[in-house]
Amino acid sequence: MLNNLPNNIVKYLVDELPPYTGLLIFKTDTQSNIIDFHGPYNVYFEEKPEINKPLHDYILALHSMIPPLVSPMCLKKIQLNNSAYVDIHILDEDNEYWIILVDQSRETENIRDILQKINETKLEAETKGQTQANIPFSHLDIFDYLSIKVHGKGGDIIGKIPKWFKQFRPELTKKKIPDFVEIFPYLEVFMIEAEDFWLKKEDGKIKSGIWSETKPDGTDIFLRAFAIKHDSQNFIVISNLDDKIDNEQMAYQLGRDQKLAYEKLEKAEQKLRLLLDYKEKFVSIISHDLRSPVAAVLGIAEMLVNDEAELSKLDDFYREMILSIKEEMLRLLDYNDKLYHWSNLELGNFEIVKEEVDLEKIITTTERTAEKKLKAKNISFSYNFDKGETVNVDLTLFLQVLNNLMANAIKFTPENGNISINVSHDPKLQIAVIDSGVGMPENISKNIFSGFARSSTMGTEGEKGTGLGLGIVKKIIDAHEFTIHVESEEGKGSKFIISL
């Protein structure tokens, strides 16, 4: 790889970079996918980077940074997963992207004088008998950190109050934080995460994203919080990033936070898919394994009902019990079928296969399906459409729509009522199922297609429903890209109108 470095890249290495150690060079495409690399990758990564894998999978700071907005671009002192610090240089050379990592871990030598100052301050405090010297994080104010020992929603400030916090909340002079969220609203979600973290027994820390606050003088400060557990005690440490952040770092941080948000969303989606898979398996058990025993009981009930000789030996009570068993098993079988169809529609486990179908065929098939129930309540049925009219629908699913609408109309139409199916052009083709039933108030009609119903209204003859029928209708209509609405008034029947 080194033999093929472009001249401009070589010149940049020689002229622009300071004496370096641990130089690692990557070449990527426009999508950040690694084409090649050279250098001691093991210094920075726990595993060897894979060719064709996005580089930002290994260095979160590079998320959305390739291609760079400007070339060259330098991200200063970025901490990698193994705590190494690097400067990252990004260069665009003829639509090939070169990412150069320069080890900056030795820069920590520069804070030796600060560490020495901490030790001197601690020694001075111990000499004066100040117990504060033995409290964790009591001298982080030297680094411009605000350290708080947590009590309830707030806590006690440890050590000196940093200058930035005095400027931000000058009224808090008693070294107490009454409520973190009241002072830093951004921390509302983070504090929930922190409380869960503090329930764990192990020492450790979690950090928030970067946020900004406005001081009374109108200037902004950039902050980051750490929730820490140490020796069974809980702490919040807030860092002022004003001297440690620039526009490039802010951009990379926002990109990193966005990536982490996407990762959380992806995990939530995986859990949701797992739950949907469990739901599908459950419905499969209901619709398949339950169907067989229900059908067996129904078969026995049918046999007893049709055996007039045996039935005549029973008194009225037992005859009614057998008829009730048959009716309840029919209802359970109908519920089972509807649950299966509803679940498949909810999960998207169906495919619309449209074809031109004669409308007369659809309506007459619907009439035959409903014939027995229509006769049982002596309901007259009529239809009105033009001969030769066709519709482009999935025949099986659209029949299910009309069958469900017809069953619903029969359920809520009293004896000797009437039901009709009318076809019109206004200007779209419209199919209306109209009944002379009990109708419904507006508060019910406007929510009637919302899906699974918690309860089902009794029919005029005490018929029981599943609460699923109209939810199934709406799903199928939506899948066809048709629309459906209802016009109804109490005591004056209902009209369900499908617009194709």
* Cβ count within 10 A of residue 278: 10
Q: What is the pLDDT of residue 109?
A: 46
Can you give the pLDDT at residue 256?
56
Res 76 pLDDT > 90: no
Residue of 211 and 338 predicted with greater confidence: 211
- Cβ-count burial 132-155 (b if 16+ within 10 Å, e if not): ebebebbbbbeebbbbbbbeeebb
Is residue 121 predicted with pLDDT exceeding 60?
no
Q: What's the confidence (pLDDT) of residue 273?
A: 75
pLDDT for residue 52 is more than 90: yes
Q: Provide the sign of the torsion angle of the four alpha carbons 412, 415, 416, 421, taken in this order.
A: positive
**3-class DSSP string for 149-170:** EEECCEEEEECCCCHHHHHHCC
Nearest CA to 483 out of 499, 463, 467 is that of 499
Tell me what pLDDT residue 66 has: 86
Quick one: pLDDT band at residue 79, thresholds 50, 70, 90?
confident
Compute φ and ψ for 491, nearest 5 degrees. Answer: 80, -5
* Strand order through the sheet with 418-425: 380-384, 418-425, 429-435, 494-499, 483-488
pLDDT tier at 1 (50, 70, 90 boundaries)? Answer: low
Average pLDDT over residues 11-15: 78
Which pLDDT does position 185 carry in this prediction? 86
Lowest-confidence segment of 5-9, 20-24, 210-214 by average pLDDT: 20-24
Helices (H) and strands (E) in the chain, counts: 13, 19
Q: Which range has the worst mean pLDDT, 4-18, 133-147, 221-235?
A: 133-147
pLDDT-above-70 percentage for the chain: 75
Average pLDDT over residues 193-199: 88
| Phi, psi torsion values for 45, nearest 5 degrees | -125, 150
**DSSP symbols for 86-146:** EEEEEEEETTEEEEEEEE-GGGGGGGHHHHHHHHHHHHHHHHTT-GGGGSTTTTGGGGTEE
Residue 354 has φ and ψ, to the nearest 5°, of: -85, 150
Predicted local confidence at residue 110, as pLDDT: 46
For residue 242, pLDDT beyond 70: no
Place of tokens 């982080």: 140
CA distance 186 to 184: 5
- Average pLDDT, stretch 245-266? 58
The answer to whether residue 184 scores a pLDDT higher than 70 is yes
- The answer to whether residue 27 scores a pLDDT higher than 70 is yes
Question: Over 90: is that where the pLDDT of 378 sits?
Answer: yes
Closest CA relative to residue 98, chosen from 9, 17, 1, 16: 9
Distance CA 241, CA 221 (A): 7
- Tell me the per-residue pLDDT of 451-491, one tens digit each, with 9 for 90 and over: 544 344 555 655 544 446 787 788 889 888 899 999 998 88
Tell me, what's the pLDDT at 138?
67
Handedness of CA 216, 217, 222, 226 (dihedral sign): negative
| Other Cβ atoms closer than 10 A to 336 | 19
Residue 130 has pLDDT above 60, yes or no: no
Higher-confidence position of 80 and 381 = 381
Phi first, then psi, for residue 204 (nearest 5°) are 165, -170
Q: Which residue has the higher pLDDT, 111 or 215?
A: 215
Handedness of CA 251, 252, 254, 255 (dihedral sign): positive
Q: Hey, is 253 helix, strand or coil?
A: helix
Check if the beta carbon of residue 410 is closer than 8 Å to that of residue 377: yes
pLDDT at residue 46 in the model: 83
Average pLDDT over residues 232-253: 69
For 258, half-sphere exposure in the C-beta direction (CA atoms, 13 angstrom radius) is 12
Average pLDDT over residues 15-44: 82
Average pLDDT over residues 358-368: 90
Query: Most distant CA pair in the chain: distance in Å?
Result: 109
Beta bridge partner(s), residue 68: none
pLDDT at 222: 85
Average pLDDT for the chain = 79
- Grade residue 430 by pLDDT with cuts at 50, 70 and 90: very high
Residue 114 banded pLDDT, cuts 50, 70, 90: very low
- Mean pLDDT confidence for 221-230: 87
At residue 108, does pLDDT exceed 50? no
Distance CA 79, CA 261 (A): 20
Residue 419's pLDDT is 95
Mean pLDDT of 429-446: 89
